[in-house]
Amino acid sequence: MLRAFGLTILLLTAGLRMAQAQQAPSRLDAILATGVLKVGSTGDYKPFTFKDPATGTFSGFDIDQAQSLATALGVKLDVVPTAWPNLMKDFEAGAFDVAMGGVSVTFDRQKKGYFSIPYMHEGKTPIARCVDKGKFATIADIDKLGIKIITNPGGTNERFDREHFKTAEIVVFPDNTKIFDELAAGKADLMITDASETLYQQKLHAGVLCSIHPDKPFDFAEKAYWVQRDPALKAFVDQWLHQTMENGAYGAIYAKWFN
- Between CA 179 and CA 181 the distance in angstroms is 5
- pLDDT number for residue 25: 84
With pLDDT > 90 as the criterion, what percentage of the chain qualifies?
A: 87
- pLDDT number for residue 176: 86
| Residue-wise pLDDT tens digits, 22-75 | 567 899 999 999 999 999 999 999 999 999 999 999 999 999 999 999 999 999
Q: What is the DSSP string of 147-199?
A: -EEEE-TTSHHHHHHHHH-SSSEEEE-S-TTTHHHHHHTTSSSEEEEEHHHHH
| Residue-wise pLDDT tens digits, 89-132 | 999 999 999 999 999 999 999 999 999 999 999 999 999 999 99
Q: Is the pLDDT of residue 193 over 50?
A: yes
- Topology, domain 28-119+224-258: D-Maltodextrin-Binding Protein; domain 2 (3.40.190)
Q: Is the pLDDT of residue 3 over 70?
A: no
**CATH 3.40.190.10 segments of the chain:** 28-119+224-258, 123-220
- pLDDT number for residue 5: 43
pTM: 0.80
Strand ranges across the sheet with 58-59: 44-45, 49-51, 58-59
Average predicted confidence (pLDDT) for the chain: 92
**CATH number of 123-220: 2.30.30.60, 3.40.640.10, 3.40.190.10, 3.10.28.10?**
3.40.190.10
Q: Is the pLDDT of residue 256 over 50?
A: yes
Q: In residues, how long is the chain? A: 259
Mean pLDDT computed over 241-245: 98
